[in-house]
Amino acid sequence: MRSLTALVALFVAVLLVAGTASADNKYVGAKFCSMCHKMADKGGAYLVWEKSAHAHAFASLQTKEAEEYAKKRGLTKPAAESPECLKCHVTGGGAAANVEAGFKKEEGVTCEACHGAASAYKMIHTKGDLAKSKEAGLVLPDKADAKFCEKCHNSESPTFKGFNLKEMWAKIEHHGPPKK
């Protein structure tokens, strides 16, 4: 009976650690991801991101148009400083408390916005262990689930014109390394 209790306690502890791993992770920034994901044999995902609107999301808050939107909405800070804007235009919502030194808000919406803060899985992931990377917080969103994207692509955005997952995914589609 004691061994069963110990086994149950161990199982619960593993679940608790696994459940909080991604919550404790810090954002590392796209530059770290680029070291591998620029290469074609690693899927070239960084190159796709670099050309996307996501990569320029923060910069878009620094435009005259963004300032006008912010004023129209009654925001008290410039768009590039307003939590209402940063929550979708910067990975992690611009929350500087949960970042490593390499993270730059100027990178906009990076890999980690969809794949989770990488501090705990980044080194595991570089070794190619997908299962352990997921255990440490790597997220692989379901490409068919628009709800993930609609956290930001929704009617709260002043420029929202509807969201078509198939059309939008085509703009950012990227693949992992080829199967061996």
Burial 13-52 (b: 16+ CB within 10 A, else e): eeeeeeeebbeebbbbbbebbbebbeeeebbbbbebbeee
User: Whole-structure pTM over 0.85, yes or no?
Assistant: no
Domains (ranges, CATH) in the chain?
25-172 (1.10.1130.10)
Q: What are phi and psi of 165, to 5 degrees?
A: -55, -45
Q: Band of the pLDDT at 145, cuts 50, 70, 90?
A: confident
If you average pLDDT over every residue of the chain, what do you get?
Answer: 84
> CA–CA separation, 180 vs 178, rounded Å?
6
pLDDT digits (tens, 9 = 90+) for 47-68: 999 999 999 999 999 999 999 9
